[in-house]
Structure 1
Amino acid sequence: MVSTNSREQTKPFHHQVSNFATVLKTMRLPFLSLTLFCVLLGLSTAIYSNVLISWIDFSVCLGGALAAHIAVNTLNEYQDFQSGLDFKTSKTPFSGGSGGLIDNPKAAPVVLKIVQLSITITVLCGGYFIYQLGPAIVPFGVVGLLIIITYTRYINTSPLLCLFAPGVGFGALMVIGTDFVLSGTFSMSAVASGIVCFFLVNNLLLFNQIPDAKADKSVGRKHLVIAYGIKHTLVVYTVFLICSAAVIVLAGFYNVLPKFSYFSLIPMLAGVESVRTLSKSFKQEQIIPMPIMQRALGLNVIAANFTPLFLAVCILIAA
């Protein structure tokens, strides 16, 4: 027979386990693969430039990038819970939030502490590179912190800022920034690779906003889907996809990237199928059924994640 005292002693333990599970949910760990692939791409362009790699610097860079991504995810989850948006969205594996704080509201202060810890780690990593490289790295850090802090409440109220911020964060700051902290210079191969990720990551967040548009509008957001509708969103996605492919083709043609990089065009076919699927459904029904929406979002994730991964591998093989 279990005593009342022993039951009371197990309550804090179960509470801590529950909070830990909620924190992991709000971190959106599966989404962190994009950070890993973007940093790997920056590493590959640095190696392609025949730079002697400091693996300590690379480790700090990767840690800072992961901390920044976790900060964005957890702050977005916390603020969406506080605003009530989290209760209005239809959850999918790719959009609508994790629902972690809905299941365990008492974990909100813990999630906020994770936000603060992640930002602190990001700043410390940035401070390390300022010490190593001087003030040239400061703009990367300032822009990164501004995106982290303002993304949910402020950037999401501007269609253009909301459209471009994800691509800046991953394409410019992570890909080009990684190459810069490892090589000390800006290489054209890193710039080209960063531009590819810029367009693809913009597309990733753009399509993820479609299922949440109605709920987002109710809390004052105004991203591209809300401002201009699904039809124009599909056009922008298509243009961005063409631009990212064109950069790879042109960079290979002018030897900025190895011609072997053309193999990284293969995952973009998932993006082509994603926009084709949504366009066909939208023309027929105007309201896109959730199973079709989820399929398109899944294909979009494949294009955004595997293109930088394939590109990094191609560059490393050529190097």
Structure 2
Amino acid sequence: MTQPMEPTLAAFQNPLARYFAATRPAFLTASLMACTIGLAVAWHDGLAFDVPFALITLLLALLAHAGVNVLNDYYDALNGTDAQNTGRIFPFTGGSRFIQNGVLTLAQTRNLGFVLMACVAAAGLWLMARSASQLFYVGLAGLFIGWAYSAPPFRLNSRGLGELCVAAGFLAITVGADFVQRKGFAAAPFAAGLPYALLVTNLLYINQFPDRVADTAAGKLHWVARLEVRQARWGYVLIVALAYIWLLALVALGRLPLLALLALFALPLSAGASRLLLRHAAQPQQLGDAIKLTIGAMMAHGALLSLALILSKGNT
């Protein structure tokens, strides 16, 4: 597999382009899709839909994800995992390489991350004032998870809680997007958003195989580092099974419309990634295609589920 070129200072002479690229914008689509699912749930439930608030919610989700990406790079530079990661599959694993390749300094990366988080907090408070006060708890949980995932003293991913953090973080985006429209909590966005959150979690999970050696050396003891490779690979399969079984159960129980079964068209992508991981877990440099299939599965699932909810407005 041919990998894209890593960033260099020569390639990013424009400071604005440099800071924008450091947020890893291609990967922000994961938050965009989580937000879309939440908005689709609100639309499906027949709520009075506020388009400007929906767009602001999308922007906040993207900014929050961008801030988390940048801060994760900063803290992974501090603990040394990215610097010693020679098994990375760029651009999917091993960080953005902006610090390691001299494109941004540690201080610039730290400052960018916290500025983005501060913007999210300020805009979130503004949105809360125009929605409902309980939105504060969703935003606080999301910001805390995004920061504590890699920051000391919590370093939640190093304690085996990274998968839980990712699932909870992306589920919070879906719930928050619905909340802004609904101005209150409901079970629907939690239920509908969980399969997508699990599929995003599997992107973190599979990305940890190429990073396993460097992460272990740096003390990032996530589950892929804690378990033997032959055992760890089955965690991916388990998460896939949970995601699609949950979707089927929701449809069977009438919590999602029958058209939501469209999201099962993402299953072959997940199955293909599972087969590749089971075959090549011990040769992580061969997992590039499996990572791409993982991304394809989560995006296809999110898009098809959102479409099903939009088209089934008022029906279950």
Aligned pairs for 1:188-199 within 5 A: 188-199=187-198
Aligned to 2:181: 182
8 Å contact kept, 1:72–1:148: yes
Corresponding residue for residue 312 of structure 2: 318
- In the alignment, does 2:311 pair up with 1:306? no
Cα displacement string for residues 263-287 of structure 1 (whole angstroms, at most 9, x for unaligned residues)? 11111221111111121234xxxx2
Letter of the 2:51 partner, please give it. Answer: W
Taking the aligned partners of 2:166 and 2:199, their CA distance within structure 1 comes to 9
Q: Aligned AA for 1:115?
A: G
CA contact (8 A) 1:72 1:149 kept: yes
> Could you say what secondary structure the match of 2:193 adopts?
helix
Contact 2:54 2:181 in 1 (8 A): yes
Residue in 1 that maps onto 2:71:
75
Report Cα offsets for 1:280-318 as digits up to 9, x if no partner: 234xxxx2151x211111111111222111111121122
Q: Which of the numbers 127, 144, 150 marks the counterpart of 1:146?
A: 144
Q: Deviations over 1:125-166 (max 9, x none)?
A: 22023312343122212211211221113112211x112100
2:156 paired residue number = 155
Which structure's CA Rg is the greater one?
1
Q: Which amino acid is the alignment partner of residue 124 of structure 2?
A: G
Instruction: Give the distance between the partners of 2:206 and 2:109, measured in 1 at CA.
Output: 26
* Percent of matched pairs sharing the same residue: 23
Q: CA deviation at 1:241?
A: 1.0
One-letter amino acid of the structure 2 residue matched with residue 67 of structure 1: L
* Contact 1:260–1:314, Cα closer than 8 Å, also in 2: yes
Pick closer, same or farther for the CA change 1:106–1:240 going to 2, 3 Å.
closer
Cα 1:273–1:106, aligned 2, differ >3 Å: closer, same or farther? Answer: closer
In 1, the alpha carbon distance for the partners of 2:242 and 2:203 equals 14
Superposed CA deviations along residues 58-88 of structure 1, whole A, max 9, x for unmatched, are 1221121111100110111122223332222
In structure 2, C-alpha distance between the alignment counterparts of 1:33 and 1:201, rounded to whole Å = 11
Q: What are the equivalent positions in structure 2 for 1:161-176 lying under 5 Å apart?
A: 161-171=161-171, 173-176=172-175
Q: Provide, for residues 217-271 of structure 1, a one-character-per-residue CA deviation record: whole Å limited to 9, x for no partner.
A: 1111110101113233222221221111112112222221111110111112211
Partner Cα distance (1:15, 1:206) in 2: 31
Bigger mean CA deviation after superposition, 79-88 or 206-215: 79-88
User: How many corresponding residue pairs?
Assistant: 299
Paired with 1:139 and 1:99, the residues of 2 have a C-alpha distance of: 33
Structure 1 residues 232 and 139: alpha-carbon distance in aligned structure 2, compared to 1, 3 A threshold: farther
Cα distance in structure 1, aligned partners of 2:157 and 2:109: 21
**Does residue 235 in structure 1 map to residue 229 in structure 2?**
no
The residue matched to 2:209 in structure 1 has which SS? coil
Which string of whole-angstrom CA distances, capped at 9 and with x for unpartnered residues, describes residues 190-210 of structure 1?
A: 122121122112111111111
Is the 2:12–2:103 contact (alpha carbons within 8 Å) kept by the matching residues of 1? no
CA distance in 1, matches of 2:44, 2:58: 19
SS in 2 for 1:142: helix
Task: State the one-letter code of the partner of 1:54.
Answer: D
Q: Name the structure 1 match of 2:6.
A: none
For 1:64 and 1:133, locate their aligned partners in 2 and report how far apart those are by CA, in whole Å: 14
Structure 1 segment 10-29 matched on structure 2, within 5 A: 17-29=13-25
TM-score, normalised relative to structure 2: 0.88
Is 2:116 the partner of 1:118? yes
Q: Is the counterpart of residue 271 in structure 1 residue 266 in structure 2?
A: no
1:90-111: CA deviation from partner (whole Å, max 9, x where unpaired): 2423111121222225543333
| Alignment counterpart, residue 288 of structure 1, candidates 267, 283, 287 | 283
TM superposition shift of 1:113: 2.5
Report the secondary structure of 1:257's partner residue: coil
Query: SS at 1:268's partner residue?
Result: helix
Gaps of 5+ in 1: 1-13
Structure 2 CA distance for aligned equivalents of residues 80 and 235 of structure 1: 26
- Could you tell which deviates more after superposition, 230-239 or 38-47? 230-239
**TM-score, length basis structure 1:** 0.87
How far apart are the structure 2 equivalents of 1:274 and 1:105? 33
Please tell me whether the aligned partners of residues 92 and 294 of structure 1 are also in contact (alpha carbons under 8 angstroms): no
The range that moved more, 16-25 or 296-305, is 16-25
In structure 2, C-alpha distance between the alignment counterparts of 1:199 and 1:45, rounded to whole Å: 18
1:34-73 Cα deviation digits (max 9, x unpaired): 1111111111000000001112221221121111100110
